[in-house]
Structure 1
Amino acid sequence: MSRPRTLLACAAATIAAAGLAAPPAAAGPAPTTPVRLLALNDFHGNLEPPSGSSGTAVDESGATVPAGGAAYIAAHLKALRNRNTLTVAQGDLIGASPLISAAYHDEPTVQFLGDIGVTASAVGNHEFDEGLGELKRIQHGGCHPVDGCSPAGKWRGAKFDYLSANVLHEATGRPVMKPWTIRRVNGARIGIIGVVTKTTPTIVTPDGVKGLTFQDEVEAANRSARELRRRGVRAMVLLVHEGDQVKPGSKPDECGTVPGVGTAIAQKADPDIDVVLSGHTHQQYVCSVQGPDGRPRLYSSGSSFGRVITKVDFRVDRRTGDIVRSTLAGDNRVVTRDVRPHRPTEKFVQRWKDRVAPVANRPVGKITADITRKPSPAGETALGDLVADAQLASMRDRGAQVALMNPGGVRTDLVHKASGSEGDGVVTYGEAFAVQPFSNIVGVASLTGERLDALLEQQWTSAGEKILQPSANLRFTIDRSRPVGDRVSAITVDGAPVDPAATYKVAANNFLLGGGDGFTVFTDDKNPVLGPIDLDGFVAYLTAQGTVSPPPLNRISGG
Structure 2
Amino acid sequence: MIRRRFTVAAALAGLAVTGVAAQPAAASPAPTVPVRLLSLNDFHGNLEPPTGSSGTAVDEHGASVPAGGAAYVAAHMKRLTDRNTLKVAQGDLIGASPLISAAYHDEPSVQFLGDIGVTASAVGNHEFDEGYKELQRIQFGGCHPVDGCSPAGKWKGAKFDYLAANVGQGKLKLPILKPWTIRIVNGVPVGFIGVVTKTTPTIVTADGIKGLTFDDEVAAANRASKQLKALGVKAQVLLVHEGDQTPAGQRPDACGVVPGAGTRIAKDADPEIDAVLAGHTHQQYVCSVTDPKGQPRLYSSGSSFGRIITQVDFQVNKATRDVVRTSIKADNHVVTRDIDPDEDTQTFVRTWKDRVATIANKPVGRITADLTRVPSPAGETTLGNVVADAQLAAMKGQGAQIALMNPGGNRADLTFAPSGAEGEGVVTYGEAFAVQPFSNVLGVTTLTGAQLDALLEQQWTSAGEKILQPSASLRFTIDRSRPVGDRVSAITVDGAPVDPAASYKVAANNFLLGGGDGFTTFTQGTGQVLGPIDLDALVAYFGTASPVAPPALNRISGQ
Change (3 A) 1:390 1:56: farther
Q: CA separation in 2, counterparts of 1:305 and 1:340?
A: 19
1:127 match: 127
One-letter amino acid matched to 1:155: W
8 Å CA contact 2:139, 2:157 repeated in 1: yes
1:233 lines up with 2:252 in the alignment: no
Q: CA separation in 1, counterparts of 2:457 and 2:65?
A: 38
1:430-449 to 2 correspondence within 5 Å? 430-449=430-449
C-alpha displacement of 1:308: 1.8
C-alpha displacement of 1:54: 2.5
2:14 match: none
1:22 match: none
TM-score by length of 1: 0.90
Q: CA separation in 1, counterparts of 2:324 and 2:436?
A: 46
In structure 2, the gaps of 5 or more residues are 1-29
8 Å CA contact 2:58, 2:249 repeated in 1: yes
Deviates more, 1:429-438 or 1:542-551: 542-551
1:178-197 to 2 correspondence within 5 Å? 178-197=178-197
2:337 match: 337
1:118 match: 118
C-alpha displacement of 1:282: 1.9
1:280 match: 280
C-alpha displacement of 1:552: 4.3
TM-score by length of 2: 0.90
1:548 counterpart SS class = coil
1:84 match: 84
2:54 counterpart SS class = helix
Q: CA separation in 1, counterparts of 2:53 and 2:543?
A: 25
2:21 match: none
Percent of aligned positions that are identical: 75
Q: CA separation in 2, counterparts of 1:334 and 1:526?
A: 50
Change (3 A) 1:552 1:284: farther
Q: CA separation in 2, counterparts of 1:401 and 1:262?
A: 41
1:65-112 deviation per Cα after TM superposition (whole angstroms, max 9, x unaligned): 322211111112112222221111111111222222122121111100
Q: CA separation in 1, counterparts of 2:417 and 2:338?
A: 21
2:101 counterpart SS class = helix
C-alpha displacement of 1:404: 0.9
Q: CA separation in 2, counterparts of 1:426 and 1:435?
A: 14
2:27 match: none
Deviates more, 1:115-124 or 1:411-420: 411-420
1:324 counterpart SS class = strand
1:34-90 deviation per Cα after TM superposition (whole angstroms, max 9, x unaligned): 222111111111111223332233333333332221111111211222222111111
2:507 match: 507
1:427-454 deviation per Cα after TM superposition (whole angstroms, max 9, x unaligned): 2101111211121111222222221111
Q: CA separation in 2, counterparts of 1:482 and 1:310?
A: 44
Q: CA separation in 2, counterparts of 1:459 and 1:557?
A: 15
Q: CA separation in 2, counterparts of 1:144 and 1:108?
A: 13
1:502-544 deviation per Cα after TM superposition (whole angstroms, max 9, x unaligned): 3222211011111112211111223223222110111112232
8 Å CA contact 2:446, 2:527 repeated in 1: no
1:160 match: 160
C-alpha displacement of 1:305: 1.7
C-alpha displacement of 1:554: 3.8
C-alpha displacement of 1:32: 2.5
1:444-463 to 2 correspondence within 5 Å? 444-463=444-463
One-letter amino acid matched to 2:225: A
Q: CA separation in 2, counterparts of 1:374 and 1:490?
A: 24
1:528 counterpart SS class = strand
C-alpha displacement of 1:391: 1.0
One-letter amino acid matched to 1:227: Q
1:522 match: 522
1:319 lines up with 2:319 in the alignment: yes
Q: CA separation in 1, counterparts of 2:310 and 2:557?
A: 40
1:476 counterpart SS class = strand
Q: CA separation in 1, counterparts of 2:367 and 2:66?
A: 24
1:547 counterpart SS class = coil
C-alpha displacement of 1:495: 4.2
One-letter amino acid matched to 2:215: Q
Deviates more, 1:269-278 or 1:462-471: 462-471
Q: CA separation in 1, counterparts of 2:131 and 2:308?
A: 28
One-letter amino acid matched to 2:491: I
Q: CA separation in 1, counterparts of 2:490 and 2:287?
A: 43
C-alpha displacement of 1:194: 0.2
1:75 lines up with 2:81 in the alignment: no
Q: CA separation in 1, counterparts of 2:465 and 2:331?
A: 30
Q: CA separation in 2, counterparts of 1:416 and 1:38?
A: 40
1:310-342 deviation per Cα after TM superposition (whole angstroms, max 9, x unaligned): 222222222322222222222222222222211
1:221 lines up with 2:221 in the alignment: yes
1:307 match: 307
In structure 1, the gaps of 5 or more residues are 1-29
Q: CA separation in 2, counterparts of 1:251 and 1:374?
A: 26
2:9 match: none
1:467 match: 467
Q: CA separation in 2, counterparts of 1:401 and 1:111?
A: 44
Change (3 A) 1:417 1:304: farther
1:41 lines up with 2:41 in the alignment: yes
1:12 match: none
CA RMSD of aligned residues (A): 2.1
Q: CA separation in 1, counterparts of 2:517 and 2:444?
A: 17
1:23 match: none
One-letter amino acid matched to 1:232: G
Deviates more, 1:203-212 or 1:60-69: 60-69
Q: CA separation in 2, counterparts of 1:91 and 1:58?
A: 22
Deviates more, 1:33-42 or 1:328-337: 328-337
C-alpha displacement of 1:377: 4.2
1:97 match: 97
C-alpha displacement of 1:193: 0.2
One-letter amino acid matched to 2:523: T
8 Å CA contact 1:42, 1:306 repeated in 2: yes
